Amino acid sequence: MKTVFIVVAAVASLSLSGCASFRSAAEGDPLEPINRGIFSFNNTFDHYLFKPIAKGYDAVVPGPVKTGVSNVFQNASDVQSIVSDIVQLKPAKLGDDIARVALNTTMGLGGIFDLATPMGIERGNEDFGQSIGYWGIGAGPYLVLPFMGPSSVRDLVGRAVDGQMDPLSMVSSVPVRNTLQGLRVVDARVGLFPAEALMNQAALDRYTFLRSAYLQRRESLVLDGKRPKE
């Protein structure tokens, strides 16, 4: 029911905001005062709890183990990417993602070893938020989600759909499933350390820096790196 509510609310917001993409970050952030409050809350939570856990994990766990963990979660994301490849009618990416999942899941022992990348089989890196954008639906207002960080109305819908296709959500044991989800979040946080260091050096206003970086990256992913039409 929670997922249905999120999707319905997000679709309604999309309808109200229209399908056209915003032309600047400021124009696409009508909820900035609220977003900044959530951004501040997230930073406090991260500083006192989340980041120390990620630092401890990064310091204690051996490098090869961390790589294997990241590979397993990336393999799960490749499974989700297959559905988005189909929705976007991208046969080349579909073939690559199917090959990646088949090879890494079997020969790579459930994704622990990424054998596909050295063989030149590129990752599709698609998600349902991109799929919606591919078919002309604008991003809608920029959002900062509690604990989850930057998003948009379109990507909120995409996350809800991707969650239903997540292989980890199909694990029957609740304790195991929750442990895996928690480990994935910690792994993702460790992966943000280099970007965080760059942001701390370059940003006068961390909020606007992150907003601009997120929106530009998402637009690039939707357009497959092509320049948008004027």
Look at residue 100 and tell me whether its pLDDT is greater than 70. yes
pLDDT at position 199, please?
A: 84
Residue 89 located in a structural domain: yes
Q: How far apart are the C-alpha atoms of 72 and 153, rounded to whole Å?
A: 28
Task: Please give the sequence-ordered ranges of beta strands (E in DSSP) within the chain, or none if there are none.
Answer: 142-145, 149-152
Residue 174 located in a structural domain: yes
Q: How far apart are the C-alpha atoms of 137 and 129, rounded to whole Å?
A: 10
Residue 227 located in a structural domain: no
Give the least confident one: 26-30, 68-72, 191-195: 26-30
Look at residue 14 and tell me whether its pLDDT is greater than 60. no
Alpha helices for 61-90 (secondary structure H): 63-87
Which of the two residues, 18 and 113, has the higher pLDDT score? 113
Which of the two residues, 204 and 179, has the higher pLDDT score? 179
Residue with tokens 């309604």: 12
Per-residue confidence band for 224, with pLDDT thresholds at 50, 70 and 90? confident
Give the least confident one: 12-21, 48-57, 113-122: 12-21
Residue 74 located in a structural domain: yes
pLDDT at position 8, please?
A: 36
Q: How far apart are the C-alpha atoms of 88 and 158, rounded to whole Å?
A: 13
> pTM here?
0.81
Residue 175 located in a structural domain: yes
Please give the residue range of the domain that contains residue 208. Answer: 2-222
pLDDT tens digits, one per residue of 172-189: 999 999 999 999 999 999
Query: Into how many domains does the chain fold?
Result: 1
Residue 130 located in a structural domain: yes
pLDDT at position 229, please?
A: 52
pLDDT tens digits, one per residue of 114-166: 999 999 999 989 999 999 999 999 999 999 999 999 999 999 999 999 999 99
Quote the DSSP letter at residue 141: S
Q: What is the mean pLDDT of the chain?
A: 87
Percentage of the chain with pLDDT > 70?
A: 87
Residue 90 located in a structural domain: yes
Per-residue confidence band for 18, with pLDDT thresholds at 50, 70 and 90? very low
Residue 68 located in a structural domain: yes
